[in-house]
Structure 1
């Protein structure tokens, strides 16, 4: 009897613009190791055919259907690993890895990543620096919590990504609106985490993110991204900068906190994206995500350091300790273009030639409606990526390249308060 061929199972390819570079590396490593690359995707594939040997289209957000489909594929292939890099799918992907007996985040680990409240409870119990917090079921509960925690506070949904529904309330006059925004945003997320909001004390200081690999519980940092945010009181991410020589990669206290947090959460194998505030009392972990960073941060890391995140993904998914040694020493950054007002976009023109320009792209089609917080999130019309030998030059190049973007749009009124939030493009697999 011929044995089933070995395969890597990928849950959701993601957008071509954001994830093709990862798929390309994973496909190369799979071929080198004699494995098929098998995809369960939400929509009809196009560009994916170049990389995947087998593609099944189902509603991946129906987790029962996703699991049933994966089990059927496991009767035809010997599953050697499960890969996923889309936030709404990391939990079912980790559950499938556990079921198939292949390396994964672990069930406790993925719950610690996906459920921000669980993460806070476990890190606090372990003695790691954490802000005061409370999971509020309703507005009265939230008001009582903020009376204990004290202003300013951050109000956020329990389980959404990309800072959706997250805002800062500096006093009681701002608090009720912040709670309403977080509660209403939570209603587009996974059903177990809908409703209410998490109230947290504000950890003041620069915000960074760290993408790291975990192999059999060992935490291996890959690269640090310095984050830029805007549109207060919200936390829209407007850009990131990765420096291969960032001194934080050698900061003993930061590395200790990161390793301890992953140990406490029980994360065993995978790649995580951890957000941290550098406060006057040390590094404070804001959240740990059970996936690679979004916003093309892993691409910036690859450009700046030479570390290939797709290859690292392959290694940890198949139980191998990845080589995370940098092969380059540069700086790379991304700047996103946002409108000044809610608008309907008619056209976007990006530069094709500028100092240090690596890539530039429109992010919307003509006719797209962009809404700023709280009516919408990730209202980006374009991005530019630049590289340089040092951080200051990279920032200058990003600013210049961004100034060359030309947008034609018609301003529109914000939606009425209470309008159901639509999940923005860019988070999920929406390629047609």
Structure 2
């Protein structure tokens, strides 16, 4: 068996392809281009995974054209469009916030009037990375949330769900979802994710409810192959599912899942299923792991960084990267691509992981010259 990768040419320049048998350079976000490029290979495919939201529908097209089991075109479309996904979950009798796909300001105001007193969320129907997500606390604030959105493009308005956020990650085996990790999420401004920890802090009853709802949801949207990442809230009234992704979770969640369950090979489980092999028992969860995104503040010009190499050289650090350097402009974090780096650690417990991440963060000092101030008068 060989592992074939496909990626856009611009993304391959810095990619580590050492684990791949071959790499196909093509526009993996274009279904027709992906089908054409992969169809040209002399290979019999047994499965396929997408690792970015924009690749889910192209993967479905490739699977359909080349005849191997993966996410279906209908499931890909449903999970990529939040309004379609919410409707499928409602039909499966799963709790969902009121929502509506609207074509402009008047339809949005009508929805706000029917669901008052709010607050509400305005966002793209197929967005990602918390881009263009706005909290609207009153109808008077709607115009500010709509400013800059493309004219003529429908968008989603829905009731705001209050409660801590989590995610469930796993793999479908024999057509049934198997959750391997429940992660606790932390958020920053504009709902941008700032960290994740496995396992999540929740009761056995809450965990059981999550497992039941996630399985029902994935079967409702027709996700019968591959890996999944499901976001949800724990509210005063119970579990409320958010977005469903037909791909592995980002932010090193699959890696952390393997650390907390020693012996787990998440992608190995997927490959075994694709080959028709009997599934192996899920290793016991016995440790903890967590990651934190680096966010440099305030906006301005980065003058210096100190303590980074020493902080991330600790034995418990699984992975770390700093994506800014002295001289770079630090911009406000408005979506996931704006974050400035990350650190991933493992530990014996959730408290241990949180303490280690705090210690690492405290040892890293960024000196920034805020916008509008002369160089050299920056704040750490």
Report if TM-score (shorter chain) is over 0.5.
yes
Counterpart Cα distance in 1 of 2:31 and 2:133 = 26
Q: Structure 1 residues 120 and 407, CA, compared in 2 at 3 Å: closer, same or farther?
A: same
Task: Return the match for 2:63 from 68, 73, 97.
Answer: 97
CA distance 1:328–1:356, shift in 2 (3 Å): same
Say whether the 8 Å CA contact 1:348–1:381 is kept in structure 2: no
Distance 1:317 1:145, change over 3 A: farther
Aligned match of 2:376 = none
Determine if contact 1:102/1:318 at 8 Å carries over to the other structure: no
Which residue of 2 is the match for residue 71 of structure 1?
39
**Residue 339 of structure 2: aligned partner:** 380
Is the Cα contact below 8 Å between 2:49 and 2:247 reproduced in 1?
Answer: no
Question: Aligned to 2:195, what secondary structure does the other structure show?
Answer: strand
How far off its partner does 1:64 sit? Answer: 1.8
**1:337-366 per-position Cα deviation (integer Å, ceiling 9, x unaligned):** 112233344554522344743333213355
Cα deviation per residue 1:260-317 (whole Å; 9 max; x = unaligned)? 1111111111111000011122211111011011111112211222322332343344
Give 1:419's aligned residue.
Answer: none
- Scaled by the length of structure 1, what TM-score is found? 0.77
Distance 1:72 1:235, change over 3 A: same
* Structure-2 change in CA distance of 1:299 and 1:132 (3 Å): same
Contact in 2 for aligned 1:219/1:259 (Cα 8 Å): yes
Does residue 1:166 correspond to 2:133, yes or no?
A: yes
CA contact (8 A) 1:215 1:321 kept: no
Cα deviations across residues 160-218 of structure 1 (Å, max 9, x unaligned)? Answer: 2221211222222332222336x35xx9xxxxxx8232111112111100002113431
- Partner residue of 2:357? 398
Q: Call closer, same or farther: CA 1:338–1:301 in 2, change over 3 Å.
A: same
Partner SS, residue 113 of structure 2: helix
Using the TM superposition, give the Cα deviation of residue 406 of structure 1 relative to its aligned residue in structure 2, in angstroms: 2.9
8 Å CA contact retained: 2:312, 2:343: no
Once the two structures are superposed, what CA deviation does each residue of 1:233-258 show, in whole Å capped at 9, x if it has no partner? x1011111102896559732221111
Partners in 2 of 1:236 and 1:321 — Cα distance? 39
3-state SS, counterpart of residue 299 of structure 1: helix
Question: Corresponding residue for 1:273?
Answer: 229
Match of 1:134 among 100, 106, 129: 100
- Partner-residue secondary structure (3-state), 2:259: helix
Q: State the alpha-carbon separation in 1 of the partners of residues 205 and 15 from structure 2.
A: 36
Residue in 2 that maps onto 1:221: 179
Paired residues in the alignment total 365
Matches within 5 A, 1:100-111: 100-111=66-77
Specify the alignment match of 2:26 in structure 1. 58
Matched, 1:206 2:164: yes
Alignment match, 2:322: 362
Q: 2:266 aligns with which of 285, 306, 309?
A: 309
**Equivalent in the alignment of 2:122:** 155
For the structure 1 residues 360 and 176, does the alpha-carbon distance in structure 2 shift closer, same or farther, using more than 3 Å as the test? same
Counterparts of 2:8 and 2:169, CA distance in 1:
26
- In 1, distance between residues paired with 2:209 and 2:236? 13
CA distance in 2: counterparts of 1:158 and 1:239, whole angstroms? 24
Task: Give SS of 1:258's match.
Answer: helix
Cα drift, residue 49 of structure 1: 4.1
CA distance in 2, matches of 1:53, 1:386: 30
Per the alignment, do residues 121 and 96 of structure 1 end up closer, same or farther by CA in structure 2, a change over 3 Å counting?
same
Q: Which runs of 5+ in 1 are unaligned?
A: 1-34, 188-193, 414-432
- C-alpha change, 1:180 and 1:317, in structure 2 (3 Å) is farther
Aligned to 1:343: 300
Which whole-Å CA distance do the structure 2 matches of 1:165 and 1:320 have between them?
43
Once the two structures are superposed, residues 68-123 of structure 1 have per-residue CA deviations (whole angstroms, 9 ceiling, x without a partner) of 111112xx111122222111101110221122222212222212211111101111
Secondary structure of the structure 1 residue equivalent to 2:344:
strand
**Match of residue 331 from structure 1:** 288
Structure with more relative contact order (C-alpha pairs < 8 Å, separation 6 or more): 1
* 1:24-71 deviation digits (Å, cap 9, x = unpaired): xxxxxxxxxxx1222222124565442222222223233322211111
